[in-house]
Structure 1
Amino acid sequence: MEPERPGEKLGILAGGGSLPRIVAAAARAAGWAPLVVRIGDGVTDDWTGYEGEAFAWGRSGDAIAYLKRHKVRRVIFCGTVTRRPDFRSLLPSFRTLVRLPAAIRMVRGGDDHLLRGVSRYLERDGFAMLAVQEIVPELLAPSGLLSNRALREDESRAMTIAATAARRLGELDIGQAVVASAERVIAVEGVEGTREMLARVGDLRRRGRVTPSERCVLVKSVKPQQDSRFDLPSIGEATIAEAAAAGITAIGVSAGRSLILGLEDVVAASDRADIALVGLADEQEEGRP
């Protein structure tokens, strides 16, 4: 998506990780003027070279006023937010205080509920919410085999088990990632996130709860009810390293509905680690042949 006029402001609500920087660079190259509002894990990140400001959760109302003051109409949310705001324990600013009842309602429930609430919250204030893939469409995962090595037979069976479990997990708005072998589900993602889930799988291997011969796969799947503007499943080079450390031998992601942060680099990292990487079509995620 291009701006309606050169230099139009694009509000980027930037959490942590590399994704907000990828989005900001692509937006600038397309003619937008990114205005980076640092939140959550991104509050302390250095955004030298970009206009913007950091806002603690207690100043979320000030962040909205800041975007309006800079005449921002379109906003994109991206990056990691591993800690939810606890508005009851904060000393909020006045602008946040008047919005507190709606904010408290938003943080109840799973991530999908939270992000849909954020969307409605901002849209009521006149902002249009954009998706990452509208700014950087090349991040969307292609379909089919992406790595040099294809799936082994037991990895293919494990992928079906993990994809089916991930779909059920998503329907309950619990998480997006599952690790499975050809015989069983090994781990599901909860509030801890993919990184800590993979660390747990590595610990299970070290303690002999997963045998050395039991090949395990990781599937990151979009939730069936997920708003595609927010929190699509994503992997990067760090994911490959964490998966390799956990003994994962294959990774599947939702084709066309998940993000690969640097496809060439991620595929190269997968090949170095001898991990098969696959973009899963809808029927594969649903366990259909």
Structure 2
Amino acid sequence: MSPDHPGEALGIVAGGGSLPRIVAEAARAAGWRPVVVRIGDGIDDDWTGYDGGAFAWGRTGDAIACMTASGVRRLIFCGTVSRRPDFRSLLPSVRTLLRLPAALRIVRGGDDRLLRTLTRYLEREGFEVLAVQEIAPRLLAPLGPLGHRTPRSDEIAALSLAAQAARQLGELDIGQAVVASDNRVIALEGIEGTRAMLARVAELKAGGKIGRREPCALVKSVKPQQDQRFDLPSIGVATIEEAATAGISAIGVTAGRSLILGLDDVIAAADRHDIALVGLDEAVPDIIASGEHN
């Protein structure tokens, strides 16, 4: 998506990690003027050279006022927010206090419900919420094998089982990631996130709970009911490194509905660790068996 005019403000509600900066750079290159509102895990990041500011949860109302004053009509959510706001334990600003009843309704339920409710609230405030891929479409995962090798037959079976489990996990709005072998599910992502789940798998491997030659696959899958404007499953180089430490030999992500943060670097890391990296067809996961390459 292009701005309506050069220098149009684009709000970026930025958590932690590399994604917000990737989006901000893509937006600036396309002619937008990014206004970066730092929250959660990204509150201490250095955004010198960008408009915006850092806002604790107790100043949520001030963050909205900042974007409005900066001319923001469209905005994007991106980045890691590992802890939910607890408005009951905060001393909110006046602007936040005025919005407190709505804020308390927003933080109930799973992540998908939270984001849908938050989006509806911001739309009532006059904002249009965009998807990351509307500004940075190159981040979307391609279809098929992405690295130097295709998965082996046992890895295909592991990817298939993990994909099935991930879909059911997503239907319950629990998580997006699953690790499985060719005949059993090993780990499900909960509120701890993918990194902590992979650390748990590494401990299981070290403790002999996973066989030395047992093929393990990681799948990150979009939730069936997920709003495509936020929280798409994503992987980066760090994911590859953590998966390698956990003994993962194949990784699958939903093609066209997942984000790869730095495709060339991620493929290089997967090749370095001899991990089969695949963009999965959501409807036909067996696309990985066809030998198609991008």
On whether the aligned pair clears a TM of 0.5, the verdict is yes
What SS does structure 2 have at the residue aligned with 1:77?
Answer: strand
For 1:52 and 1:5, the matched residues in 2 are separated by 20
Cα deviation code 1:206-237 (max 9, x no counterpart): 11111111110000000000000000000000
Q: Which residue of 1 aligns with 2:139?
A: 139
Q: Which residue of 1 aligns with 2:63?
A: 63
The answer (yes or no) to whether the contact 2:52–2:66 under 8 Å persists in 1 is no
Q: Which residue of 2 aligns with 1:198?
A: 198
The answer (yes or no) to whether the contact 1:248–1:275 under 8 Å persists in 2 is yes
For 1:35 and 1:2, the matched residues in 2 are separated by 16
The answer (yes or no) to whether the contact 2:144–2:288 under 8 Å persists in 1 is no
Percent identity of equivalent pairs: 71
For 1:132 and 1:120, the matched residues in 2 are separated by 17
Q: Is 1:81 matched with 2:81?
A: yes
The answer (yes or no) to whether the contact 2:156–2:288 under 8 Å persists in 1 is no
What SS does structure 1 have at the residue aligned with 2:117?
Answer: helix
CA displacement at 1:116 relative to structure 2: 0.7
What SS does structure 1 have at the residue aligned with 2:173?
Answer: coil
Q: Which residue of 2 aligns with 1:254?
A: 254
- Evaluate the alpha carbon distance shift between residue 10 and residue 161 of structure 1 in structure 2; reply closer, same or farther with a 3 A threshold: same
CA displacement at 1:283 relative to structure 2: 2.2
Amino acid at match of 1:266: V
- Evaluate the alpha carbon distance shift between residue 158 and residue 137 of structure 1 in structure 2; reply closer, same or farther with a 3 A threshold: same
Unmatched segments (≥5 aa) in structure 1: none
Q: Is 1:6 matched with 2:29?
A: no
Deviating beyond 2 angstroms after TM superposition, the runs of 4 or more aligned structure 1 residues are 283-289
- Evaluate the alpha carbon distance shift between residue 27 and residue 288 of structure 1 in structure 2; reply closer, same or farther with a 3 A threshold: closer
Q: Is 1:239 matched with 2:239?
A: yes
For 2:152 and 2:70, the matched residues in 1 are separated by 54
For 2:142 and 2:283, the matched residues in 1 are separated by 15
Cα deviation code 1:79-119 (max 9, x no counterpart): 00000001111111111111111111111111101111111
Amino acid at match of 2:138: E
What SS does structure 1 have at the residue aligned with 2:264?
Answer: helix
Alignment TM-score, normalising by the size of structure 2 = 0.96
CA root-mean-square deviation? 1.3
CA displacement at 1:288 relative to structure 2: 12
Alignment TM-score, normalising by the size of structure 1 = 0.98
CA displacement at 1:287 relative to structure 2: 11
The equivalences for 1:1-289 within 5 A come to 1-285=1-285
For 2:273 and 2:141, the matched residues in 1 are separated by 19
For 2:13 and 2:283, the matched residues in 1 are separated by 33
For 1:89 and 1:16, the matched residues in 2 are separated by 23
